[in-house]
């Protein structure tokens, strides 16, 4: 792999130990994937923030890097943490967990990273343009950036994204290259998805069927950005997809002549929904996976105005969006119905199981996947309306 003289200096430790260690990661990755060079990135999004997912070893790694003077060179945001930094007591997050979480966030802050903890940075100002090279690691953000924005990123791991932030570059392979941005799996839709659970189930079904291949949808006539966010997140979690196209909707459309083809209709969606949850009464309803936009919070508030929820509700979002929702009065309406808007965190990376929850509801395809596997929850997969008291 060819390096510029500055990159070579980083690799040889002339620009400090943190840069050397980070360049070593990027160099090794580039060699594994056959990259010819490194390319500058305009932004980075780092996963591996909740101490539930990174544990003590992750905290030690971050503290070590911080003690070596690591500083990021480009705009860098974090993925959700294990708690809302301001409301963790109100959420009943255990104190020991909170202390460790604060230590993780302090380590990241010392590197000059923006303390916005969100899996949807494109909703709060970090919105790369078509063709822009970035290094993001949250899988739902990666598929959104590649597919809906036309930006270019591989599915980075937490350490490789952090290394890209410290060095300002990433290996040039995979999704950064035109030749890999071609669909080799196509889906003909027999019916239009409408609700959040429709989009989540469609993403889950196609994710499993495509096994992570770049996928092109025919017949998706209209979809809002929020619906595409939910579809992509489900594809990425049930099938590890990093890129999809929707004819007439996404900024890119390239389909291989030899692409595999399937049809998906209402029967497949209904059957998939049945696999994604059980018809139980939940302890907690969780929305905002990926993090909710202001419009979504507004719609939730409109649905809940003057109503009562059958159990607790969290609407997960970025702090900046929560502040706007507070100002617009949406948070107060949701609280009156028995819910709360929580920032910096989400249902999957907070310690739900330690907090006594056993049955959690969601309308998100991605959350439905991980609430069961990572949070030991019985999953109830349904729309919010199903949990409003009659």
Q: Which residues bind ligand F3S (CB under 6 A)?
A: 79-80, 119, 138, 140, 233, 289-291, 316, 346, 348-349, 366-367, 370
Closer to ligand F3S by CB, 30 or 351: give it: 351
Rounded-to-10 torsion of CA 203, 207, 213, 214: 10
Q: Please tell me the distance from the alpha carbon of residue 175 to that of residue 113, in angstroms, as a whole number.
A: 25
**For the CA atoms of the chain, what is the radius of gyration?**
21
Rounded-to-10 torsion of CA 192, 195, 196, 199: -10
Closer to ligand F3S by CB, 35 or 349: give it: 349
Shortest Cβ distance from residue 116 to ligand F3S (Å)? 13
Closer to ligand F3S by CB, 23 or 367: give it: 367
Shortest Cβ distance from residue 289 to ligand F3S (Å)? 3
Instruction: Give the HSE-up count for residue 239: Cα atoms under 13 Å, Cβ half-sphere.
Output: 28
Shortest Cβ distance from residue 85 to ligand F3S (Å)? 16
Shortest Cβ distance from residue 110 to ligand F3S (Å)? 23
Per DSSP, 103 falls in state H
Closer to ligand F3S by CB, 128 or 200: give it: 200
Residue 311 CB partners (closer than 8 Å, separation 6+): 281, 282, 283, 284, 285, 338, 387
- Kindly state the tokens that stand for 5: 């003289």
Rounded-to-10 torsion of CA 264, 269, 274, 276: 90
DSSP annotation string for 252-314: ---EEEEEEEEEE-HHHHHHHHHHH------SEEEE-SS---HHHHHHHHHHHTT--BSSEEE
Shortest Cβ distance from residue 21 to ligand F3S (Å)? 26
- At 246, give phi and psi (nearest 5°): -130, 120
CB atoms within 10 A of CB 373: 11
Shortest Cβ distance from residue 249 to ligand F3S (Å)? 21
Closer to ligand F3S by CB, 7 or 114: give it: 114
Q: Please tell me the distance from the alpha carbon of residue 17 to that of residue 62, in angstroms, as a whole number.
A: 14
Query: Cis peptide before 290, with omega less than 30 degrees from 0?
Result: yes
Closer to ligand F3S by CB, 25 or 349: give it: 349
Shortest Cβ distance from residue 309 to ligand F3S (Å)? 20
Closer to ligand F3S by CB, 82 or 159: give it: 82
Closer to ligand F3S by CB, 24 or 353: give it: 353
Shortest Cβ distance from residue 183 to ligand F3S (Å)? 23
Per-residue exposure over 344-369, b if at least 16 CB sit within 10 Å of its own CB, e if not: bbbbbbbbbeeeebebbbbbbbbbbb
Closer to ligand F3S by CB, 185 or 370: give it: 370
Shortest Cβ distance from residue 79 to ligand F3S (Å)? 6
Per DSSP, 121 falls in state G
């Amino acid at each position: 792999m060819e390096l510029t003289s500055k990159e070579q200096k980083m690799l040889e430790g002339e620009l400090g130990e943190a840069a050397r260690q980070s360049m070593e990661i990027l160099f090794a990755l580039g060699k594994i994937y056959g990259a010819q060079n490194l390319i500058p990135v305009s932004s980075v999004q780092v996963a591996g923030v909740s101490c539930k997912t990174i544990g003590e070893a992750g905290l030690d790694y971050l503290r070590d890097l911080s003690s070596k003077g690591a500083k990021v060179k480009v705009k860098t945001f974090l993925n959700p943490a294990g708690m809302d930094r301001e409301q963790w007591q109100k959420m009943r997050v255990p104190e020991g967990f909170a202390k460790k979480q604060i230590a993780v966030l302090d380590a990241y802050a010392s590197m000059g990273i923006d303390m916005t903890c969100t899996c949807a940075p494109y909703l709060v100002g970090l919105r790369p343009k078509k063709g822009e090279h970035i290094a993001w690691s949250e899988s739902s953000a990666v598929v959104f950036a590649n597919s809906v924005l036309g930006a270019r990123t591989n599915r980075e791991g937490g350490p490789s994204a952090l290394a890209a932030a410290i060095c300002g570059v990433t290996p040039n392979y995979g999704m950064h290259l035109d030749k890999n941005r071609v669909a080799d799996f196509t889906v003909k839709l027999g019916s239009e998805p409408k609700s959040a659970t429709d989009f989540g189930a469609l993403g889950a079904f196609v994710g499993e069927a495509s096994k992570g291949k770049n996928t092109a949808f025919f017949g998706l006539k209209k979809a809002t950005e929020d619906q595409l966010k939910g579809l992509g997140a489900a594809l990425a979690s049930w099938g590890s997809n990093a890129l999809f196209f929707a004819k007439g909707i996404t900024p890119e459309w390239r389909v291989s002549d030899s692409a595999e083809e399937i049809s998906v209709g209402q029967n497949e969606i209904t059957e998939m929904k049945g696999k994604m949850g059980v018809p139980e009464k939940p302890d907690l309803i969780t929305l905002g996976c990926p993090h909710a936009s202001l419009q979504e919070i507004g719609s939730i508030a409109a649905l809940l105005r003057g109503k009562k929820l059958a159990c607790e509700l969290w609407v997960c979002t970025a702090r900046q969006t929560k502040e706007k929702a507070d100002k617009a009065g949406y948070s107060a309406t949701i609280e009156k119905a028995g819910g709360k808007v929580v920032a910096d965190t989400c249902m999957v990376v907070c310690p739900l199981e330690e907090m006594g929850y056993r049955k959690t509801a969601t309308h998100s395809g991605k959350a439905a996947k991980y609430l069961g596997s990572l949070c030991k929850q019985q999953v109830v997969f349904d729309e919010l309306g199903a949990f409003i008291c009659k």
